[in-house]
Amino acid sequence: MALPNGAYAPIPSPLDAEGLLDPVALDRHLGFLAGEGLDGALILGTNGEFPSFEVSERLALAEAAARFAQGLSLMLGVGSSALPEVIQLVQAAQYFGYQSVLVPPPFYFRSAPVEGLVGFFKKVLDAAEIPVLLYHIPQVTGIEINDDILEAVVDHPRFGGVKDSSGKLSEIDRFNARLGEHSYMVGHDRLLSTARAAGGSGSITASASVVPALVAATQRDSGQQPELDAVRDLLEKYGLGPAVKAVLRQKGFGDYRTRPPLVDLDDESADKLVVEFEELMKF
């Protein structure tokens, strides 16, 4: 079972000015990422704003990305608090030819016991025919992928590893000590080199959507980490998700709008961001 590794981008889901999915923008973006040397792409993760889309839209986006992959290894985010929806999306990923799926905890049920969370993940693993990575982002889901959960699923034949977007240094060692040969994919740009040095498998980080060559280079050589940190600092200054979409809009890939409750950058802020981004790219 081939496990995810290398540098991935968590794709922002492209919406046009009317708020509809834009497959042309998706095609352009994936082509750009492949041409810049990335290894893979995560479709419908956190940066893909997956809770904003109904299942039919998510299936349409997943199918379109599979058509436009251009050699990228694809991972599909299958997050939902409804187990049947998660399994439906896992089966769709397999049908469309994805190489792996990413499943967060059932985030609405923050008080669920470990036994229930393990039961949820095991049902997903049993339904899968491709590697399943658990998504550790407790600042969003309110649920940790703790040691008890890992111990209960690590020996399942479809368990592929963890994407860790906690942003905590301590979690790098915790996961790497328990995952063995499974994938550890760090989810924060600033920790990319540290995770690689600790034996991590790769990264799925926001900056990869706009500076893929820099992220791919940093995955190979920690000497590029300061430049990547500067990009991340700039994006966070304007708000990570909206800033990534504003840069993609400026690059001409598409409108890259959001749906409420999320909000696009206003025109003045977007213009300032683009000026600073272009100046930063001179390093």
Least confident of 35-44, 55-64, 159-168, 216-225: 216-225
Q: Which amino acid is at 9?
A: A
Give pLDDT, residue 205. 98
C-alpha closest to that of 117 among 136, 98, 100, 101: 136
- The answer as to whether 45 is a domain residue is yes
- The answer as to whether 265 is a domain residue is no
pLDDT mean over 209-233: 95
Predicted TM-score (pTM) of the model is 0.96
- The answer as to whether 234 is a domain residue is no
Q: Does pLDDT of 238 surpass 90?
A: yes
pLDDT mean over 178-200: 96
CA distance 238 to 137: 21
Give pLDDT, residue 222. 78
According to DSSP, residue 191 is labeled: G
- The answer as to whether 151 is a domain residue is yes
- The answer as to whether 70 is a domain residue is yes
- The answer as to whether 283 is a domain residue is no
Which are the catalytic amino acids? 46, 108, 135, 163
- The answer as to whether 260 is a domain residue is no
CB 84 within 8 Å of CB 92: no
Torsion, Cα of 90, 91, 93, 99 (10° steps):
80
136 is in which domain, residue-wise?
6-219
pLDDT mean over 8-13: 98
CA distance 96 to 81: 23
Percentage with pLDDT > 90 across the chain: 97
| Domain harbouring 157, CATH code | 3.20.20.70
- The answer as to whether 262 is a domain residue is no
Look at the chain and report how many structural domains it folds into: 1
Reported confidence tier of residue 283, pLDDT bands at 50, 70, 90: low
φ and ψ of 164, to 5 deg: -110, 105
